[in-house]
Structure 1
Amino acid sequence: MAAAVRKVGGLVPPARGTRPRNRRELILAAAADLFYRRGYADVAMSDIAEAVGMGPSALYRHFRSKQRLLLQVVLDGIAPVRDALARSAVDDPDTVLRAVVAATLDHREVGVLWQREGRLLPPEERAEVHREVRAVTAVVTALIRKARPQLSAGQGEVLARSGLGVLLSPSFHRVDLPRPEYVRLLVDLCRAAVTAHPAALGPIAEAPAPAGIALRSRREALLGAAVRMFAEQGYAGVAIEDIGAAAGIAGPSVYNHFESKADLLCAAVTRGLEWLAMDMTRALAGADDAETALRVLLGSYVRFSVDRSDLVQLLVAEVSHLPTQARHRARQARADYLMEWTRLLCAVRPEYGAAEARIRVHAALSAINDVARMRHLRDTDGVAPTLAVVAGAVLGLTPA
């Protein structure tokens, strides 16, 4: 019996030695699949070449570096969304929204590649991705404000980023539904996000919020620098010497506090997970029913995401870099945390069923995270209550 052929990115790779006409498409599909599953830092050009049945030297004739390949993968993931939005001048809003949802489900990996792996691109190429994302955000913002002219520019942008967070949320989980049902649900969730009623916002923040008084602990200084740098540049893009320099601690003194860069990441991820667990315990302990607990939990998560967006970024994007046992513990802790959200939502909305409830929870948290990731939005007065309203609408909670 013939062995099963593993598809790469939905395409069947050619036999080695052949020269298919869609070789570039196969390369991009293989790279997207491998970067998504294993992480950019753990994929070599030889792995991609092997996946498409060609030699590494032939691969370099198509892409001169792995970074250029990553850039093209990310841009190719954004392009269908941009192209679908471009139809907004001639198509009705529902048709456009369905096309955008279909595009994101067809390229389910793009959220992870853009938000996790894209930080490893050189500054110039990272700026190119940011320009594309800003262009998409601007179109969505304009569409929202066209339908709701009473909204300010800031309110429109917050709703646009929330809607994009919902769209990208399937990239970060493996819950699935039959395709037509998934499209309908994701359309409904996006519509709930962008039609929510935002709070009044202050002026868009132009400068970072005050940093406050720093702790004198050298260990805390190192951990704080590590969290910030891992969130901004990605774990693979930071050396432990860079962290020491940022914390004002030179050379081997760093190792008096942490044995390795991985040890720093373990400490940071553990802190974020324990923070979330404590907030959840507090929310459940003070609530008389599931809906009250869910609302309190939602409010606490919004505050955490806005105040500590760096820790949220680590929990979303960097857990895969932990050592094996620590990685398993972190993933189990995060799964347990999300399970409690799902349990509460199922108690409040039993008609959803477990799969839909899980998708809604992921979408709501992704909407919050996507706005909180943007400094100029998270530091704006009024954004936290707006995020609570948007996420509540995505979860299907009755407005308070």
Structure 2
Amino acid sequence: MATRRPPNRKALIRQAAADLFVERGYHNVSMSDVAEALGIGPSALYHHYRNKQDLLLHTVLDGLDQVDARIKAAGTLDEALRSLAEFIAGRPRGLLATWEREARHLDGAQRGVIDTREAEVVADLEPLLRVGRTDLDDADTGLVAAAVLGALGAQTRHRISLSRRKDEQLAYRLATVVATCPLPEHGGARAATGTPEGVGLPVPGLQRPRRDQILTEAIRLFDERGYQSVTVADIGKAAGIVASGVYRHFPGKTDLLVAAVNRGVERMYSSTEEALSQARDPRDALERLLRARITIALDQVHLLGILTNERDQLPEKERTALRRVQRDHRDVWVQTLDAVRPGRDTAELKMIVLAVQGMVYFVVRSGGTDRWPDLRERLVDLGMALLLDD
């Protein structure tokens, strides 16, 4: 007897693809791998999707569509936040992580489709936010909407959990804190803040050392396209030299990635040490840690992207070392937060810290200072509200 095709086969394909893309990375997954995970032949996949990139596009769109459907179905902001928290607590890790991490591998036109769809999701949350928030102008409404989605999405990028019910309650509480956070004026002109990477040299016309130029371009390309999609020739071209010129400074592409990660780790260490050494008390230390993180995101977002998304491309020794550094860095935040809010469950504190860090990263990547004036102080307001919420 012939086996009936399940009516939701396309959805099953996208979910299987999302899980594999996140687990192994887009370039390490073939259409045959996806078919094998579903127990079907590869030809069944090509019946629905032209190729792997087409499958990736629709997998990312699926995650966005599921989030947007819950927003559109809600009659009030509270209903939307509860529905999104329920969705997030179900740990749709593959779908949402694919949206953030693997969409870089789409071509220009497809990336444009994703950027447009992401903007639509944020915009669909804005009318619900405006009800009862007459203090928000259009810019701040868009900022808060993006911050809500960033704080929620961060919960799908780690494996820390309390319980399904408690995870949902925490996600709802965090989203509500962001959605209702007051955003006061900070005085002066609301000018954009942050310095794009690779500009703002202290002496006009000063040329950075060639090795630094190469590494800066490698960091940008690795973050924008993904490590495996970038060649040494691409890096050389971006730095204004031929590929052989890159090899005079770095033995290979892996060495460039390791150097990029080391630069990021050094920045994390130095910013953390500076924040703690200047703090007057635990609360001040917490705010200084937050400000340091925001500064890295605003000034060196590509470097933060490397640390966030390219860890699995490192050799095992360096990958293990980076995990340890990131865990230690997170635990500094957790210990500081515990000193400010004693008696809370450690796992919950970790989830709050990761929500704050994820929110900052998502907002900056969603448009940053180009879209929102006074972004640095706005992120401090939102981040501290999350960290200090009782």
TM-score by length of 2: 0.91
* Match status 1:78 vs 2:64: yes
Task: Confirm whether residue 326 of structure 1 aligns to residue 318 of structure 2.
Answer: yes
Alignment of 1:368-383 (within 5 A): 368-377=360-369, 380-383=372-375
Residue ranges of structure 2 left out of the alignment (5+ in a row): none
Instruction: Please say if residues 298 and 368 of structure 2, whose CA atoms lie closer than 8 Å, have aligned partners that are also in contact.
Output: no
Whole-Å separation in 1 of the counterparts to 2:348 and 2:273: 24
Mapping of 1:174-323 within 5 angstroms?
174-200=159-185, 202=190, 211-213=199-201, 215-323=207-315
Tell whether 2:115 aligns with 1:130.
yes
Instruction: Tell me which amino acid in the other structure corresponds to 1:171.
Output: T
Distance 2:174 2:89 in 1: 14
- The whole-number CA distance in structure 1 between the counterparts of 2:192 and 2:141 is 12
Q: In the alignment, is the contact (CA less than 8 A) between 1:371 and 1:377 conserved in 2?
A: no
Percent of aligned positions with the same letter in both sequences?
A: 35
CA distance in 2: counterparts of 1:47 and 1:301, whole angstroms: 38
Is 1:38 paired with 2:21?
Answer: no
Alpha-carbon deviation of 1:397? 5.7
> Aligned in 2, Cα 1:380/1:28: closer, same or farther, shift over 3 Å?
closer
Report the CA distance shift for 1:378/1:334 in structure 2 as closer, same or farther (over 3 A). farther
The answer on 1:48 being equivalent to 2:34 is: yes
Cα–Cα, structure 1 residues 199 and 217, in superposed 2: closer, same or farther, change >3 Å?
A: farther
Letter in 2 for 1:31: A
Q: Determine the C-alpha separation between the residues in 2 that align with 1:286 and 1:203.
A: 27
* Residue 147 of structure 1, aligned match among 108, 129, 132: 132
Which range moved further: 20-29 or 387-396? Answer: 20-29
Give CA-to-partner distance per residue, 1:136-176, whole Å, 9 cap, x none.
11122232223312312111111111111111001221101
- The answer for the alignment partner of 2:76 in structure 1 is 92
CA 1:85/1:397 → structure 2, altered by over 3 Å: closer, same or farther? closer
Post-superposition CA distance 1:242-267 (Å, at most 9, x none): 11011011131110111111111111
2:89 corresponds to which of 105, 113, 116: 105
Contact 1:116–1:317 (CA<8 Å) still a contact in 2? yes
Q: Determine whether 1:358 maps to 2:350.
A: yes
Instruction: Provide structure 1 residue ranges, at least 5 long, that are not aligned to the other structure.
Output: 1-16
Aligned length: 379
1:101·1:187 contact (CA, 8 Å) conserved in 2? yes
Q: Is the 8 A contact 2:125 2:145 kept in 1?
A: yes
2:197–2:299 contact (8 Å) kept in structure 1: no
Displacement of 1:376 in angstroms is 4.7
Structure 1 residue 84: deviation in Å? 1.1
CA RMSD of aligned residues (A): 2.2
Is it true that 1:68 corresponds to 2:60 in the alignment?
no
For the pair 1:156 / 2:156, whether they are aligned, the reply is no
Q: Is the 8 A contact 2:71 2:80 kept in 1?
A: yes
CA shift in 2, pair 1:19/1:52, >3 Å? farther
Q: Say if 1:110 and 1:171, in contact at 8 Å, map to a contact too.
A: no
* Displacement of 1:190: 0.8
Distance 2:336 2:107 in 1: 42
SS at match of 1:211: coil
* Conserved 8 A contact 2:88-2:171: no
Q: Alpha carbons of 1:199 and 1:211: their partners in 2 closer, same or farther (altered >3 Å)?
A: farther
Deviation at 1:189, TM superposition (A): 0.4
Match for 1:26: what amino acid?
A: L
Out of 178-187 and 343-352, give the one that drifted further. Answer: 343-352
Q: For residues 258 and 183 of structure 1, do their structure 2 counterparts lie closer, same or farther at Cα, with a shift above 3 Å needed?
A: same
Residue 147 of structure 1 aligns to a residue in which SS?
Answer: coil
Moved more, 145-154 or 74-83: 145-154
What is aligned with 1:59?
45
CA deviation vs aligned residue, 1:185-225 (integer Å, no higher than 9, x gap)? 111101111221224473679x9799223543110000111
CA distance in 2 between counterparts of 1:187 and 1:252 reads: 53
2:197–2:300: 8 Å Cα contact kept in structure 1? no
- What is the rounded CA distance, in whole Å, between the counterparts of 1:170 and 1:108 in structure 2? 9
- The amino acid across from 2:33 in the alignment is D
Shift in alpha-carbon separation, 1:210–1:194, aligned structure 2, 3 A: farther
Check the 8 A contact 1:306/1:378 in 2, yes or no: no
Q: 1:291 and 1:110 mapped to 2: Cα distance?
A: 36
Residue 271 of structure 2 contacts residue 292 of structure 2 at CA under 8 Å; is this kept in 1? yes
- Contact conserved, 2:35 with 2:42, CA < 8 A, in 1? yes
47 and 388 in structure 1: CA distance in 2 versus 1, 3 angstrom threshold:
same
Task: Decide whether aligned partners of structure 1 residues 277 and 19 sit closer, same or farther in structure 2, where only a CA change above 3 A counts.
Answer: farther
Q: Cα offset for 1:288?
A: 4.5
Distance 1:210 1:196 in 2: 34
